[in-house]
Amino acid sequence: METLYADEFYFLGLIVLAPLLGAIINGLLGSRLPRKVVDWVACGAMAFSFVFALISLQGLVNHGANYDGEDGFGPHLTYTVYQWIFSGDLQADIAFLFDPLTAVMVLVITGVGLLIHIYSVGYMADDPDKWRYFTYLNLFVFAMLLLVLGQNMLVTFIGWEGVGLCSYLLIGFWYNDEQKAAAGQKAFIVNRVGDFFFILGMFIIFYTAGTWDYLELHQMATSTATVAQLLPIAFPAGLLIFLGCTGKSAQIPLYVWLPDAMAGPTPVSALIHAATMVTAGIFLLCRLNWLITLSPALMAIIAVTGALTAIVAASIAIVQNDIKRVLAYSTVSQLGFMFMAVGVGAFVAAIFHLMTHAFFKALLFLGAGSVIHGMHHEQDIRKMGGLRKLMPWTHATFAAATLAIAGVPLFAGFYSKDLVLWNSLANTHVLNVQGVIENIRAMLPEDRLQELEVLLTDEVAAAITDAGGEAVEVVTWALALNWGVYLVGLLTAGLTAFYMFRLYFLTFWGENRSDEETRAHIHESPGSMVGPLSVLGVLSVIGGYIGWPHFLARYFPEGLQPYVLGLEHWLADVFLVADQYRLVGRFGESPYLPEAISAGAAIAIAGAGIFLAYVMYIKRPELPGVIHERTTRLYDVLMNKYFVDEAYDFLFVKPTLWLGKASYWFDRYIIAGLLVGGVAFMTQNLGQVLSNLQSGNVQRYATYITVALVLIFIAIYFGVM
Amino acid sequence: MVELTSMFSALAAQPMLAQAASGEGGFPWLTLTTFGPLLGILALMFIPRDQIEALRNTALLTTIGVFLVSLGIMVNFDPGVAAGAGEAFKFQLEHGPLEWIPALGIQYYVGVDGFSLWLVMLTTFLMPIAIWSTYSAVDKYVKEYMISLLFLQVGMIGALVSLDVFLFYIFWEVMLVPMYLIIGIWGGKDRVKAAIKFFLYTMLGSVLMLVAILYVYLQAGADSFLYTDLLAVELSYTEQFFLLAAFFLAFAIKVPLFPFHTWLPLAHVQAPTAGSVILAAVMLKLGTYGLIRYAFPLFPDALVVYAPYIALLAVIGIIYGALLALVQENVKKLVAYSSVSHLGFCVLGLIAMTPAGLAGGMYVMLAHGIATGGLFLCVGMLYERRHSKQIADFGGVSKVMPLFAAFFGIIMFGSAALPGLAGFVGEFLSLLGASQSHFLSFGEYLFYAPNGSETTIPLPERFAEVNPVDSVTWGPEMTAFIFTIGGTLGVFLGAAYLLWMFKRVMFGAIKHDAVREMPRLTVREIGVLLPIVIMIIFMGVYPKFFLSYMDPSMEAYLTYMDEQVTQAVESAEADEERAPIYGEVVVEPLDPEWVPEGSMWDRALDRVDE
């Protein structure tokens, strides 16, 4: 490793190149290659990519060992491929950056991606267009890697749109079905709405900072001399970028495309719409953590949006009957959790949950795919049941994932979800600008200090400057926000446990409710599908062991300490700034007891959710019907997803089309008809009109003279002339 | 075969002819490229009209030959040559000036710089493709059709390379006639109406422009129409105001900018495929090219006042064109309206007067030429199979023509500005340039007010309160940013109308039996689409290749405009009556460290040396 320089670490290029080559080979030749070769090319490309990612990881570890902290960014490797655009002061390179944050993302993408590719070999075995499927899938991984590896925002944006394209292609993979094609289109266009904001955010950043390079931006944001320049744009730019993230990561108000996206093949849902693409927004905000933490108001907006999305989506998931739709809303809800974590400044928790979620949600989708595959494309859970015995491997792994997402201790989801909840309660994130304020205070002359307040949302700034940054509890709405977010998160955790176990019980327990013919054919899936399920099953259990709660971590032996808090240590350098700005939590330095209580609450509510599901769907299966009878109206609202789709159609789609029609009318009859046509008409007829004047009719001449005289009289009288 | 050999011999004779004509200086690449098609026309004259294949092949080979010759322009063009101080443009590969009509001082003088180079290349690149696409589309009057197309090429390239303004005007008019015939004879049902409308519209603009050109010429008194001589003419603000109006109108109709666009959809829908391709890809670009080459630098004083309104028209065009495209039922009309939208990005970038905006505007021209040309070719192929352009008559075509679906998809996404494909670079840079612009500020005059008159219309107070550490101020920057927001909305709408069209045409179940019987692409059609697809990908993946040729020209141009506008603002400030017009309006102050990156290859060599 010593021979490789940290700024020319070409393995980063190879990580990206492998899936691109796979896509090119399959895309150009796939239709003529034997099906086995297509499989090998696609999976081989992913395997290479994964290996290169591991090598880069080792490189990063080596580099970190003798990292001198010179540039303040923390240990990182870079690789510049070529210069893409330049014009004047804009220099945009295709360049890659590999730091601990990217490392986590790349490993998840290539690792889980590899498993899903292998799974797809079995799942798509009968599809004649399998080569096209693998082309798109490899292309997706390529774009996703660009997104997370980009050294500047432009490369990130290329990947950002690239994954949108692949998502479009894969959702509409069976394009002959009108609805599936429409779902793909909806996904792309809703994402474009997000990209609209993203681009504008990028422009604002470039206007102020003159660069999109993360290293340079980071330098600006962390240096006392320059941070004051970034402060005024932190809110507008951050908000625009956050809105972009709500598109890609399916948050309120742009989450509507994700449930429809389930039209694609199930492995696609697992890879794109659960494990990787939809987490791009969380990744981006974490990447820009030093920017968004400059604006407390923005952080609050992110936290509230995340919390709201989490609970809204969870409530919809309760009543859905399509196995994939339940999982889709569950994904939206879990993504909301991650945004919640970002919003309260708990970036490590967000990434931690992102990672464990990638494991267990991919597993859930793949399990669902296995079920659908086994039941001949039946997706309605009301027609399932009793699959426990018929599909033992699928059942075992699905159960592990369900336990994980429900937050049962010792399973991965528990650790990350607990960390998110605990941080949302404990962080006093709204005060994280204090360091910045100090910097500006040092820079500004005495008589201009009051301008400080203009920079920040008035209330907060006033409170902080008044109290000299000491008082933690002065900002009452911050306290309310913390509690609100925490309680909503807790409630969502309970709902999650409930709807997931409802899904699990309905699918795998009880009697089989399908028709005779289907029942006769139900079978366990082939090895290429069960294999990845098992690996993900193991990961869904042990994936959380790198982030034990602090109150438990201290009981581990000394040698294990770095590992039981592994992720936190690994990402410490990345979120250094965010941590610096974040004050010590509300509960003091080592709040073991409150933390334990919070964890206990989470376990209790998860248990309650599971118990309720057990009662309703195993013990007394008639209960759901009774409840349904009593709450028809609420049920309808939930079943129709709060009518958001209809509202958007009414508010945005219809008016836009109407505007288009109106413009078209305007174009034809006003611009082309009246103005242009009028000019033409006048030219044609003017001669005729003038010739009419000279008619030889004396009375008419007299009229002209009279009119003219009157006009002259009026003109003179009113002094116009 | 006889015809072919005669043509080849004619081609072989060309260099000698040209060498003889060139006199001193290098090889006359530009003259050869411009008049090369005339040799093809000559050959066509001798081919009997019933030998359709021979006629087509001759025209195709001529255009391919011209393309190969034009590669010589690219190879010999040295992007590293920088303009001298105070020069707006540095032309290369010049030929002339040769006396043409000495009595009036009209001369033959051609040359290229970073702006025109790629447009010439675009023209020569697309011509063979357009002609090859007519093999199955046009069966009547093939001879005349080919002659018209070749003649059109002479006019277009001539207009691009002319350095004598009168010469430019002649080529500009030469372009009109063949296009008028192409639409009027080989067009669709309403072809005559469309042709007349096209002709009248364009004539109206160009007549005004002619008057303006003559006025400047008379003011100059130098007995010369040379572009550089006209640039040097001192004109008062009032004169500039009206002259710019005349020039702007001529070019705005050609672009077309809202609200001068109504000829375009009609012309496009009625024109045959090759006509549409050329019209969209090259002829519209002559409007934008004319803006940056003639209208802007000739009248900088007036431009300061015009700029925000031009930008406003561009942004309205972006959104309006996209909205209209959204509701079209006719594929070809949809693509035509999308041109209005895309050209809006181009003008917005150009008028921003920032490096990124200028580069973006130029890049939109190229990308739009390739991508929209490709879209029209695709529509043409659909039409030849189904004899309909109505979206509702298609559906599920992907199943029948998978390769076509792939090509069409790539071209469509190239047009919808997907990063990594051609359209993105231009639109993104244009919008970026617009967002950084200091040039687009509305002054206190909404319209021209004569010197000394009292009838100024004051806008609300300038927003002078600027926070010292607040860089996003409410001033010229904010105006520019609002324009940018409007433009960016167009990127979103662009995806909406194109994807919706694509879904309705290509996806879904097959509803009509006629669609099921549509034949797959022929080898010729693959050959027509493949270069376009490759170009779309290459332009998106490696834009530096194209930008590197433009960069020195852009730097010189912006430096020149910066000086001129600064002078204009200073003189206006000295002139008390007009003082308040110019607030903080400036061409984007240039980065003093901006080293033009044109000499890409030199730099690569330097690196090797190191």
- The domain ranges of chain B are 301-447+472-610
Which of the four pLDDT bands, split at 50, 70 and 90, describes residue A673? confident
Note whether B543 contacts A85, CB cutoff 8 Å: yes
Residue of A385, A401, A384, A426 lying closest to A599 (CA atoms): A426
**What residue type is assigned to position B43 of the chain?**
A
d(CA A680, nearest CA chain B) in Å: 10
Which of the four pLDDT bands, split at 50, 70 and 90, describes residue B75? confident
- B338-368 per-position pLDDT tens digit: 999 999 999 999 998 888 899 999 999 999 9
Please give the residue of chain B at the shortest CA–CA distance from A85.
B544
Q: B414 and B422 in contact (C-beta within 8 Å)?
A: yes
Residue of B368, B314, B299, B355 lying closest to B119 (CA atoms): B368
Which of the four pLDDT bands, split at 50, 70 and 90, describes residue A284? very high
Q: How far is CA A137 from CA A399, A440, A717, in A?
A: 27, 49, 83
d(CA A15, nearest CA chain B) in Å: 18
Residues of B in contact with A239 (CB under 8 A): none
Nearest to B469 among A182, A229, A236 (CB): A229
Q: What is the pLDDT of residue A100?
A: 92
Radius of gyration (C-alpha) of chain B in whole angstroms: 24
Nearest to B467 among A451, A656, A664 (CB): A451
d(CA B11, nearest CA chain A) in Å: 38
Q: Which residues pair with A206 in a beta bridge?
A: none
Is the pLDDT reported for residue B473 higher than 50? no
Note whether A87 contacts B503, CB cutoff 8 Å: no
- A285-343 per-position pLDDT tens digit: 999 988 888 777 788 899 999 999 999 999 999 988 899 999 999 999 999 999 999 98
For residue A87, report the phi and psi dihedrals to the nearest 5 degrees: -170, 120
Residue of B92, B45, B38 lying closest to B65 (CA atoms): B38
Residues of A in contact with B591 (CB under 8 A): 88-89
- The mean per-residue pLDDT over the stretch A237-250 comes to 93
Which of the four pLDDT bands, split at 50, 70 and 90, describes residue A698? confident
Mean of the per-residue pLDDT values of chain A: 84
> For residue A460, what are its two tokens?
């907060």
Taking phi over 0 as left and psi of -120 to 50 as alpha, with beta for the rest, B585 belongs to beta
For residue A82, report the phi and psi dihedrals to the nearest 5 degrees: -165, 170
pTM: 0.88
Is the pLDDT reported for residue A50 higher than 90? yes
Burial B428-466 (b: 16+ CB within 10 A, else e): bbbbbbbbbbbbbbbbbbeeebeeeeeebeeeeeeeeee
Please give the residue of chain B at the shortest CA–CA distance from A236.
B472
Is the pLDDT reported for residue A411 higher than 80? yes
Q: How far is CA B492 from CA A189, A658, B495, in A?
A: 7, 17, 5
Residue of A414, A456, A385 lying closest to A603 (CA atoms): A414
Nearest to A188 among B354, B360, B499 (CB): B499
Which of the four pLDDT bands, split at 50, 70 and 90, describes residue B444? very low
Q: Helices B52-76 & B114-133, crossing angle to 10 degrees?
A: 160
Q: What is the pLDDT of residue A575?
A: 83
Using CA atoms, how far apart are residues A168 and A710, in angstroms rounded to an integer? 72
- A97-139 per-position pLDDT tens digit: 999 999 999 999 999 999 999 999 988 888 888 999 999 999 9
Please give the residue of chain B at the shortest CA–CA distance from A158.
B419
Q: Degrees (nearest 5) of the Cα angle B340, B342, B343?
A: 65
Q: What is the pLDDT of residue B102?
A: 81
- A64-78 per-position pLDDT tens digit: 877 766 667 788 888
Q: What is the pLDDT of residue B182?
A: 92
Identify the residue with better confidence: B91 or B147: B147
Quote the ipTM score: 0.86
User: Of the ranges B7-11, B243-247, B507-511, B538-542, which one carries the lowest mean pLDDT score?
Assistant: B7-11
For residue B106, report the phi and psi dihedrals to the nearest 5 degrees: -90, 130
Using CA atoms, how far apart are residues B26 and B111, in angstroms rounded to an integer? 12
Is the pLDDT reported for residue B420 higher than 70? yes
> For residue A319, what are its two tokens?
């009543």
Note whether A158 contacts B492, CB cutoff 8 Å: no
Q: A549 and A129 in contact (C-beta within 8 Å)?
A: no
Interface residue of A17, A82, A87, A166 to substitute, partner B, most B CBs within 10 Å: A87
Q: How far is CA A366 from CA A17, A259, B548, in A?
A: 27, 16, 48
- A608-631 per-position pLDDT tens digit: 999 999 988 888 888 888 888 888
Residues of B in contact with A671 (CB under 8 A): 259, 262
Interface residue of B328, B421, B432, B587 to substitute, partner A, most A CBs within 10 Å: B432
Is the pLDDT reported for residue B602 higher than 50? no
User: Of the ranges A266-270, A457-461, A643-647, B495-499, which one carries the lowest mean pLDDT score?
Assistant: A457-461
Residues of B in contact with A454 (CB under 8 A): 467, 470
Note whether B503 contacts A181, CB cutoff 8 Å: yes
Note whether B542 contacts A84, CB cutoff 8 Å: yes
pLDDT-above-90 percentage for chain A: 40
Q: What is the pLDDT of residue A578?
A: 65
Residues of B in contact with A176 (CB under 8 A): 396, 398-399, 507-510
Using CA atoms, how far apart are residues B313 and A161, in angstroms rounded to an integer? 29
- The mean per-residue pLDDT over the stretch A84-93 comes to 81
Q: Which residues pair with A505 in a beta bridge?
A: none
Q: A38 and A117 in contact (C-beta within 8 Å)?
A: no
- The mean per-residue pLDDT over the stretch A400-414 comes to 92
Is the pLDDT reported for residue B113 higher than 80? yes
The SS3 assignment for B328 reads coil
Instruction: Identify the sign of the CA torsion A434, A440, A445, A448.
Output: negative
- A535-564 per-position pLDDT tens digit: 999 999 998 898 888 888 888 888 888 888
Using CA atoms, how far apart are residues A80 and A8, in angstroms rounded to an integer? 7
Residue of A535, A268, A263, A265 lying closest to A401 (CA atoms): A535
